[in-house]
Structure 1
Amino acid sequence: MLSAYHSLANTALSFYDPLGLGRAALDYWRDSIERQVLFLDVMRQRGNQYLEHMEQTKPNVLGFDAEILMDGRELPRPVNYELLRIQPPEGVEIDPDMRPFVVVDPRAGHGPGIGGFKPDSEIGVALRAGHPCYFIGFLPFPVQGQTVEDVADAEIAFLREINTRHSHISEKPMVVGNCQAGWQLMMAAALEPECFGPILIAGAPLSYWAGERGKAPMRYSAGMTGGSWLTAFASDLGAGLFDGAWLVQNFEKLNPANTLWTKQYRLYANVDEEAERYLNFERWWGGHVVLGGEEIQYIVDNLFVGNRLSCAKLTTRDGRRIDLRNVRSPIVVFCSQGDDITPPPQALGWIRDLYADVDDIQAHEQTIVYCVHDSTGHLGIFVSGNVSRKEHAEFTANMDYIDVLPPGLYETQVTEKAAQGARESAHIDGDYLLEFSPRTLEDVEEIVMPIDEDERRFATVERVSQINLGIYQMMVQPWMQAIMTPSAARWIRRMHPIRLGYKLFSDRNPLMVPVPVMAEIVKRERHVIASDNTWRILEGMVSDQIAASLDAYRRQRDQMTETLFMQLYGQPWLQTMVGLGATAEPLSRRPGIEPEHRRFIAARKSELTERIEEGGSLEAVLRALIYILGGAPATDERNFQRLKASREEFKGELDLAAFKALVRDQFFILRMDRKAALDALPAMLTDASNAEIDADLAHIEHVLAASGPLSEHAAERLAAVREQFDRARPSPSSGQ
């Protein structure tokens, strides 16, 4: 009937609408009605998908088949986590001798599986590279009484199991932690560093007080609500369980334009192409889980409000201090300027919180690499296919290289392989080139932009939070715990606005019954209008105006929130009342050096001093390369590929772990006494013939040539190395 009416109207308009505006309006009217019906049908499918997902015992959005290896509920201190082994898809070959790859999923309100959500995901990239892959996920409800420490211990137990399964190789697993899983993973690695290989933390907040003014509005949330008492109240409403939908709602409030308009309008405007993508994403975004009240209170008090992880102020129940300086594996921090949930200052601020300078990092034998993306959002860091194909692919392909980097602080950039010449590209894995540049703490501070007055304000929030939480726990919590029952808590969770929004558009709502029938009719006779339709263009303009208005509201809201926060918690009288005093002296948050670590450094120096002249050609070549390149064994992956390929050229076999230890030893020897280390080169080559010395020098030049022409400074150092190698040549009378 609609089509017949439309034909009749078109015939009439052909006489009275010479410019075609009326015909365009009629086409647009028909198309918009059809899109509305299809939009409602997608929303109905979303609601049904949500209900089906939530009714599953172990909901998961992993895009790969997996086998459960360990159930955290069977551990001595049970938790709702599982260790899964990913089954490679058809056509993908796994090399059992390659380093295992582990993804730890974030438990921040959403369900598990985001790290393996799509073929172009962190797991997908690792599988295509041939790595055995594992996944640490979780169930929707926690085990009663489980704590954050229990979860960290479970992750350690899972890593031990993986190490046992791959005991035939020397490399420890590469472990990836997204968002919340990043700080959780770092806690576990600080407690048991020997279980972990290189660690990649993507979009993970570790320094919660850090942030640039005018950005990162989430860091003001605790101050504007009076601290963590609200978390305790929400847990009491859940009869000891915290609904993750509250966390999801906080994320959505950050960008009201996207939440209230853009996301839905994009589906409505392109409903014929967008439906599948929208439903796939909503399957994860709407898979809300529940956290234990004790867990979330620990997280909010110690991390979000207290910022104690980045300053080594956390201790376990048995007295172990959680100090990130204990992590022995290389740490790769991946963050983005476009991330409003974990902006770069929060991802990198822990470095300046823990270390005085790069010498301090090197003294702890730590290798820290950071990469700052220009634009991708928080979810894009570990969901975007473009990011996975580029940054994650390069990190995965070059973890052996990162594992060999000497201690220090580096920034990495991923550049197009096409920009390199054919000769230079020969030693590049994949389509991109991974380049490293040594950095200092001053470079990090330019990103973090610390302000001492703001540190005092957040410290004031921490004290106010403790006071308010204490009052709540004394005067209100006993009553809440007495009246709330599990049944009432379940009813409250079901009535949460976000959860209710899914259910109202599902088939459980009788008003949605005609929608699938109408959608089927529309699909059979779909009339898509051209993109140049005048009214369709006008629709897009109106949509842009609505999004711009909501963005303007967000900016105004965030600016007012920041101003109020700064004014309130910057008051000297409030800071004095909570015990911080009104002095202008900055708060010292950097932890001290443990006496045990000082003794370790002294013993390490004494050991290396005795070994300055030890070694042969291999040690001499590596020492020379590190010296020429100014401290690092390579400036990008090309040099490492040459080193890796040429290890067999030296006498005997040297696995990657031994190679890494050798590089680090030579680095520290050079750092400790550069002159003595260089002067010792002839002694290390005493038994070498002229031909062997020539081969060693040719090897050095071959490695250096992999990344292009040498700088003037590096050329001077190469000349100094040549001179030392020439001093080692046997005299002509020796006959060699």
Structure 2
Amino acid sequence: MVTNVQKTSLNLRSETAENAAAIQDRTVDIVTRALDRSGVQWTLLSQSARLQSTRIIETHSERTRDLMQGFAEVSQRIARSQSIVDDWTAYLKDATQRVVLTMDALRERGDVFLEHEAAGCPPVLIYDYEVIVDGATLKRPCNYQLLRILPPKGVTIDDTRRPYIIIDPRAGHGGGIGGFKPDSQVGVALSKGHPVYFVSFGRDPVPGQTLADVMHAEAGFVRTVRARHPDSPQPVVTGNCQGGWATLLMAACNPDLTGPLILNGAPIAPWSGEVGENPMRYNAGVLGGTWQPMFWSDVGAGMFDGANLVMNFEQLNPSRNYFGKYFDLYRDPDGGRKRFIDFERWWGGYFLLNEAEIHWIVEQLFVGNRLIKNTAQLEPGVPIDIKAVKGPIFVFASQGDNITPPQQALNWIAATYADEEEIRLRGQRIIYMLHDEVGHLGIFVSSKVARKEHTQMASTLETVEAMAPGLYEMVIENTQGEGQDKQFEVRFYDRTLGDVAALDDGQQDEASFAAVAHMSEVQANAYETFGRPFVRSVSTPMGAKALRDLHPLRVQRTAMSSDNPMMKGVAQLAGMTRELRAPATADNPFLEMEKLTGDWVEQAMDLSRDLRDAWYEGMFYALWGGPLAAWFGKKNAAHRTLPDPETLKALPEVEAALAHMKQGGLPEAVIRLLLLLASSNQSFRAEILHRWAHVFQHEAPFRDLTVEDRQRMLREQTVIVTFDEQGAIDTLPDLLPRVADRKQAVDLLKRILGEIPDPSPELVEMAQALYDALDLAEIKQKTETRSKSQGRSSAAANKAKQK
């Protein structure tokens, strides 16, 4: 009895000790992680403070120095001037006239705004068009339309060429920016003879419309275009900004749509960015998450006003949007008037979204980041998996884009695929381009800064099906000359996911966004339960319209229109002013003083913005960067589960390709040889791709193959070269047992590759390995012997003729 009690007591003491040890270990683990996270928070805060303060000091010190020097020089010029009175009189007259002309331009902007609103805000395309499909008539109606762009005079369209479909962003503004001017995406495609279609949308959504309805409509538009051009390659679908991630959603939910996709400035990974940059991504953490658009939609009687989104964009650069563009108009009201009015017609067209649409966008994309975590759904039973996209994907991003920085445009690649080998295994082609300076809108309108990228992208789209699956960067380099004589070389570099990750400063900041996502869910649920019933009970359609009409962005345009009695005489006064126009001479010192004053105002506003952004970022990491926030957001921090790269080789499609690597003939051999040479060189010129594409599609031994057969061969040979390079080399003789086939393969390679200046050592080594594997020395010897024999026979024949 005593023995049993003693044993029980010992067991209890042992269990208690084990539990205490476990609790102690758990406590140590929690404390350690908290300390680690506190260290991360301190690192983020200190890094933000250092980067922001350094940039502010360097930028504004230099700008202040330049301004002070400019003011001093102008002041000296004025002091030394012998015609100071005449200069001042000429400037004062010129400035007064420019005030009148600027007021008249603002009046015209107001009139254009009211006319545009009265017409229902049609797209601001400069091209004529016809409606092919009206989304309001579909089984699942929506306010989207498929338009066919009518070619202008002098432009001939070839209906057998690849059609272009351009999807503009519905992010507060209306459609048309992709066809806004001749240098736009529409203009580039038309100039090359391609049929061009445009996906536009109305100002008011169809009641009950959801993003799922829009996705189904856009997929139907693509199928309509395919049916209209049965003899052309698959259509290119170009998505701008919001239209970019919408295009990706459509392609992921419709795997049969296999044409190339172009994503221009599309924020697919909205949590991404660099510390010290990209303040827009902190909005939800400082201002609130999903409950805000829910509230504003309820106040709007179920409609979210896109003018709120436009105001967010404007506040990213207030010096430009609230002063700079007006000052530029005032400086040159004669030459800048049309450009100002044309842009403001689009910028001032404010569109609406249903509550369900803006709710999904904020909750699942921008705050929840669910698209790249593979947890987003447009509707029950419609999962969105980016890996399902089969068509080639082009991504265009820019370092100068303050709305969609490169990290938000590109980080989804590393979050979706285990490594670049998985991209090849799936037969996918992802090509990205980085520009150094072009801004967000410049990406869409093909500005002069980015025109060569758009032109080369259009050229590559003609040949993309001949590219081997993989991840590439398109780089324009070796630029020589100026203007129309400018020449450059386009190369495609093999890239890894590590190369993409190197564009970011790490992902340790993303735990903070996970905490924001969780808090957004809590706030949304609280508002849904306690706030929404009251807000909806006091909201009316009439009140919602009044709120929209009183929005500051609408009021500033309406107030300056001809409907304002105080503006009645402006047009007549401006007409008289144009008749008496007397611009000051360009060397007038007061004009330079005026410009310097404008620069000073802009700098003051920029300094205010930079200080605001620094405070914004510091507040965000102070609130959401700590250990408690990391614990709170833990469930939202999980990333997509990716396959182990080591297991990819064991996948059935890989095993099947490797098991049949000895099977095939000349087509498979040529593809394999090109892949082996390209993988050893890590890059290739665009002209090689164009020559290869021509052979791949139009010449023997490929021309008699179907498109599906060619793509299957290209994918299988890519898998073989990727997972067993040495085996791919060793089995080449099995594909080319005859000397004639080997010679034909070599001849094709020489014609496709052309002359390669300065080949890399790796390329030389691979070429030698292939030379040895195919025993090309024997082929060369036989060829030379045959040539000599033919030469002797020809000489003998000539002698016989002479005799």
Same fold (TM > 0.5): yes
Contact 2:144 2:217 in 1 (8 A): yes
CA distance in 2, matches of 1:661, 1:88: 37
Contact 1:41 1:515 in 2 (8 A): yes
More deviation, 46-55/307-316:
307-316
1:244 aligns with 2:295: no
- How far the C-alpha of 1:695 sits from its partner, in A, is 3.8
The equivalent of 1:49 in structure 2 is: 112
- Residue type of the alignment partner of 1:450: G
Contact 1:639 1:706 in 2 (8 A): no
Contact 1:639 1:707 in 2 (8 A): no
The equivalent of 2:608 in structure 1 is: 553
- How far the C-alpha of 1:193 sits from its partner, in A, is 2.4
CA distance in 2, matches of 1:24, 1:31: 10
The equivalent of 1:673 in structure 2 is: 724
- How far the C-alpha of 1:688 sits from its partner, in A, is 4.5
Pairing partner for 1:209 from 257, 261, 271:
271
Pairing partner for 1:617 from 666, 669, 681:
666
The equivalent of 2:243 in structure 1 is: 181
More deviation, 524-533/715-724:
715-724
- Residue type of the alignment partner of 1:20: S
Unaligned runs of 5+ in 1: 1-15
Does the residue aligned with 2:266 lie in a helix, a strand or coil?
coil
Tell me the alpha carbon deviations over residues 245-304 of structure 1, each in whole angstroms, 9 at most, x when there is no partner: 000000000001101211110110011110011111001100111111110011011111
CA distance in 2, matches of 1:76, 1:185: 21
1:124 aligns with 2:187: yes
Tell me the alpha carbon deviations over residues 508-555 of structure 1, each in whole angstroms, 9 at most, x when there is no partner: 000001101110011001001112111111111111111111111111
Tell me the alpha carbon deviations over residues 606-641 of structure 1, each in whole angstroms, 9 at most, x when there is no partner: 331343122222321221121012178971211112
Tell me the alpha carbon deviations over residues 460-505 of structure 1, each in whole angstroms, 9 at most, x when there is no partner: 1111111111111111211111111111111110000000110000
Contact 2:438 2:450 in 1 (8 A): no
CA distance in 2, matches of 1:116, 1:455: 36
Tell me the alpha carbon deviations over residues 388-435 of structure 1, each in whole angstroms, 9 at most, x when there is no partner: 631111111111333332222211112467579xxxx9xxxx965431
CA distance in 1, matches of 2:373, 2:350: 31
Note closer, same or farther for the CA distance 1:676–1:573 as it changes in structure 2 (3 Å cut): closer
Note closer, same or farther for the CA distance 1:526–1:663 as it changes in structure 2 (3 Å cut): same
- Residue type of the alignment partner of 2:634: L
The equivalent of 1:410 in structure 2 is: 472
- How far the C-alpha of 1:700 sits from its partner, in A, is 1.4
The equivalent of 1:146 in structure 2 is: 209
Tell me the alpha carbon deviations over residues 639-663 of structure 1, each in whole angstroms, 9 at most, x when there is no partner: 1122233344424625666544432
Pairing partner for 2:172 from 109, 129, 149:
109
CA distance in 2, matches of 1:391, 1:318: 40
The equivalent of 1:635 in structure 2 is: 684
The equivalent of 2:159 in structure 1 is: 96
- Residue type of the alignment partner of 1:106: P
Contact 1:633 1:640 in 2 (8 A): no
Contact 1:341 1:378 in 2 (8 A): yes
- How far the C-alpha of 1:356 sits from its partner, in A, is 3.0
CA distance in 2, matches of 1:369, 1:17: 59
The equivalent of 2:619 in structure 1 is: 564
1:470 aligns with 2:525: yes
CA distance in 1, matches of 2:362, 2:666: 54
Tell me the alpha carbon deviations over residues 298-324 of structure 1, each in whole angstroms, 9 at most, x when there is no partner: 101111110111111112423232111
Contact 2:314 2:321 in 1 (8 A): yes
Note closer, same or farther for the CA distance 1:416–1:401 as it changes in structure 2 (3 Å cut): farther
CA distance in 2, matches of 1:208, 1:513: 47
Contact 2:100 2:570 in 1 (8 A): yes
- How far the C-alpha of 1:40 sits from its partner, in A, is 0.2
CA distance in 2, matches of 1:477, 1:676: 65
Contact 2:107 2:561 in 1 (8 A): yes
CA distance in 1, matches of 2:701, 2:441: 48
- How far the C-alpha of 1:729 sits from its partner, in A, is 6.6
CA distance in 1, matches of 2:736, 2:137: 57
CA distance in 1, matches of 2:554, 2:500: 41
The equivalent of 2:495 in structure 1 is: 439
The equivalent of 2:641 in structure 1 is: 591
Q: Give me the TM-score of the superposition, normalised by structure 1.
A: 0.90
Q: How does 1:213-224 map to 2 (within 5 A)?
A: 213-224=275-286
The equivalent of 1:39 in structure 2 is: 102
The equivalent of 2:634 in structure 1 is: 580
CA distance in 2, matches of 1:124, 1:431: 22
- How far the C-alpha of 1:673 sits from its partner, in A, is 2.0
Does the residue aligned with 1:195 lie in a helix, a strand or coil?
coil
Contact 2:121 2:349 in 1 (8 A): no
Pairing partner for 2:596 from 525, 532, 541:
541
Contact 2:418 2:643 in 1 (8 A): no
Contact 2:157 2:193 in 1 (8 A): yes
Note closer, same or farther for the CA distance 1:252–1:130 as it changes in structure 2 (3 Å cut): same
Contact 2:226 2:235 in 1 (8 A): yes
1:300 aligns with 2:362: yes
Name the Cα RMSD after superposition. Answer: 2.6
1:699 aligns with 2:748: yes
- How far the C-alpha of 1:698 sits from its partner, in A, is 2.9
Tell me the alpha carbon deviations over residues 657-695 of structure 1, each in whole angstroms, 9 at most, x when there is no partner: 654443222211212322222222222222442xx5334
1:650 aligns with 2:650: no
The equivalent of 1:379 in structure 2 is: 441
1:234 aligns with 2:234: no
- How far the C-alpha of 1:214 sits from its partner, in A, is 1.2
Unaligned runs of 5+ in 2: 1-78, 787-803
Does the residue aligned with 2:256 lie in a helix, a strand or coil?
helix
Contact 2:209 2:354 in 1 (8 A): yes
1:162 aligns with 2:225: yes
1:327 aligns with 2:377: no
Larger Rg: 2
CA distance in 2, matches of 1:205, 1:404: 28
Contact 2:173 2:306 in 1 (8 A): yes
Contact 2:474 2:490 in 1 (8 A): yes
CA distance in 1, matches of 2:648, 2:94: 76
Contact 1:406 1:633 in 2 (8 A): no
Contact 2:771 2:777 in 1 (8 A): no
CA distance in 2, matches of 1:133, 1:409: 28
Contact 2:425 2:719 in 1 (8 A): no
- Residue type of the alignment partner of 2:599: D
- How far the C-alpha of 1:706 sits from its partner, in A, is 4.7
Contact 2:493 2:682 in 1 (8 A): no
Note closer, same or farther for the CA distance 1:633–1:90 as it changes in structure 2 (3 Å cut): farther
Contact 1:682 1:727 in 2 (8 A): no
- Residue type of the alignment partner of 2:748: H
Note closer, same or farther for the CA distance 1:704–1:710 as it changes in structure 2 (3 Å cut): farther
- How far the C-alpha of 1:599 sits from its partner, in A, is 10
Does the residue aligned with 1:561 lie in a helix, a strand or coil?
helix
Note closer, same or farther for the CA distance 1:579–1:645 as it changes in structure 2 (3 Å cut): closer
- Residue type of the alignment partner of 1:362: R
Note closer, same or farther for the CA distance 1:463–1:65 as it changes in structure 2 (3 Å cut): same
Note closer, same or farther for the CA distance 1:456–1:693 as it changes in structure 2 (3 Å cut): closer
Note closer, same or farther for the CA distance 1:657–1:258 as it changes in structure 2 (3 Å cut): farther
CA distance in 2, matches of 1:697, 1:482: 78
Identity of aligned residues (%): 37
Note closer, same or farther for the CA distance 1:248–1:391 as it changes in structure 2 (3 Å cut): same
- Residue type of the alignment partner of 2:641: P
- Residue type of the alignment partner of 2:714: V
- How far the C-alpha of 1:44 sits from its partner, in A, is 0.4
Q: How does 1:365-404 map to 2 (within 5 A)?
A: 365-387=427-449, 389-404=451-466
